[in-house]
Chain A
Amino acid sequence: MPKNKVVPIEEAMSRIKSGMSIAIGGFIGQGDPLTLIDHLKTMDVGDLTIYENDAGFRDRGTVELVKQGKVKKIVASHIGTTPEIGKAMNEGRLEVEPTPQGTLAEMMRSGGAGLGGFLTPTGIGTVAEEGKQIVELEGRKYILVPSVRCDVALIRAHAGDTWGNLIYRGTSRNFNVPAATCADYVVAEVENLYTMGELDPNAIHTSGIFVDAVVRANIDYCVIREEVFNGQ
């Protein structure tokens, strides 16, 4: 019988120490692991390096950790939805490494798949080339991008069983899938928790093999999403 990985949030998050790298799932609020981020806000850690598509939406999400001064660097594709990030960067409080969205997703996926890196045509002739090796194959130029492995990943799923098999819903799947694979310790918050055997094995998006700790999501996520939709 696979192990029951459901633990109190304090125990799951105690793995996070200052100076660590963290991959975070979600896409400007869609599927962001807000329960885990909220807990991280209460912890005495700093100098974090975050790999995430963005820093959340407006004043909610990873941007809150930046405001607290916990984040040293963020590797992201888009920070336009959280004005505080640009401000923190301009004031020298935060290092931002803009990365094309597909490149960031593939850095996580290939890191989780045991590959050292990959060749992408995205960003040839742009600043995305800077500091990177260019490889030419059959007449086309590619950027050699190293994969990423993180200390911890924080993700959110619609449903999960006690071993950490996960099912996402709608466009909340996004970066949660690759982020789940690329870290030494993966914490999943789940909206609906099931016992083993209750979820259809054909429908699992993330195998429990990738997940180390399962925590119940306790944020009223519906309310947050409605506020976002109504605000635009």
Chain B
Amino acid sequence: MASDAKKVIAARAARELEDGQIINLGIGLPTLIANYVPEGIDVVIQTENGAVGVGPAPDPGCEDRDRANAGNQPITLIPGGSYFDSATSFGMIRGGHIDATFLGTLQVDEQGNIANWIVPGKMLAGMGGAMDLITGAKVVYIVSEHCSKDGASKLMKQCTFPLTGAEEADVVITERALFRRYPERGWVLEEIAAGYTLDDIAACTDMAYTVADDVKFDAYGAD
């Protein structure tokens, strides 16, 4: 089951979606975003293993062995959806045909660097399709809990793990705050979730940022 923090992040991320967008959702937390798509917003979900038009999860017993997402979870396909091979799929991704990608992370930093595929000496999952998605998608959303399990900020001055993408993160959404990165201003704190103050965010954020003049308090996560 997803934690409350993950649900808060997914729900806020879903409010970023625009009608008609083609999006790709990473494995884990980002997949939850599909559960919170606002009414009146129609998005088309691409999964990099080779389908576009991913629909709701199938009912138990109705799984199709040849219909799964990149996380190996069973999927359905909406009318208009289609399948393709991996070379075609990554042509779509690198070719700029994906409007937004939502990815979890281990670290993200001041320059917009993203590190989410390896913990040296400990875990090597592999980058999968993340490097291509980060490079090719028009907008790169990092959706992640604010701190790692040991309490350290994931929003760092400088990533210490090997990068998945350099200067590619556009928006960071955590259970505590939302930051956007602008070419000249860098990271800007635009929203603070219910239950947190400016000081709270400052205390758990290592990367430099400025606070938007119209920063929103209690912006999300209240229910």
Q: Nearest Cβ in chain B — how far from A58, in angstroms?
A: 10
**Chain B, residue nearest A27 (CB):** B49
Q: Does A187 contact B (CB under 8 A)?
A: no
- Given the interface pairs A57-B72, A102-B129, the reply to whether A225 lies near B65 with Cβ below 8 Å is yes
Total A-B residue contacts, Cβ distance less than 8 Å: 160
Complex partner residue of B83 from A106, A173, A229, CB under 8 angstroms: A173
Binds A, one of B37-45, B131-139, B210-218: B131-139
Contact indicator A125/B86 (Cβ below 8 Å) = no
Complex partner residue of B63 from A105, A128, A168, A226, CB under 8 angstroms: A226
Contact indicator B64/A170 (Cβ below 8 Å) = yes
**Chain A, residue nearest B123 (CB):** A86
Query: For chain A, which range describes its interface: under 10, 10 to 19, 20 to 34, or 35 or more residues?
Result: 35 or more
What is the interface size of chain B, counting residues whose CB is below 8 A from a CB of the partner? 49
* Complex contacts, B75 vs chain A, CB 8 Å: 171
- Given the interface pairs A98-B127, A177-B85, the reply to whether A229 lies near B74 with Cβ below 8 Å is yes
Report, nearest first, the 10 A-B pairs whose CB atoms are least far apart: A125-B166, A102-B90, A170-B66, A80-B125, A177-B85, A225-B65, A102-B132, A78-B126, A105-B86, A109-B87
List the interface of chain A (C-beta within 8 A of B): 27-31, 53-54, 57, 76-81, 86, 89, 96, 98, 100-103, 105-106, 108-109, 120-128, 158, 168-178, 205, 221-222, 225-226, 228-229, 232
Task: Given contact pairs A30-B49, A125-B163, enumerate 9 new A-B contacts (beta carbons under 8 Å).
Answer: A27-B49, A78-B125, A79-B124, A96-B124, A120-B94, A126-B131, A126-B163, A128-B127, A225-B66
List the interface of chain B (C-beta within 8 A of A): 47-51, 63-70, 72-75, 83-91, 93-94, 113, 117-118, 123-132, 135-136, 162-167
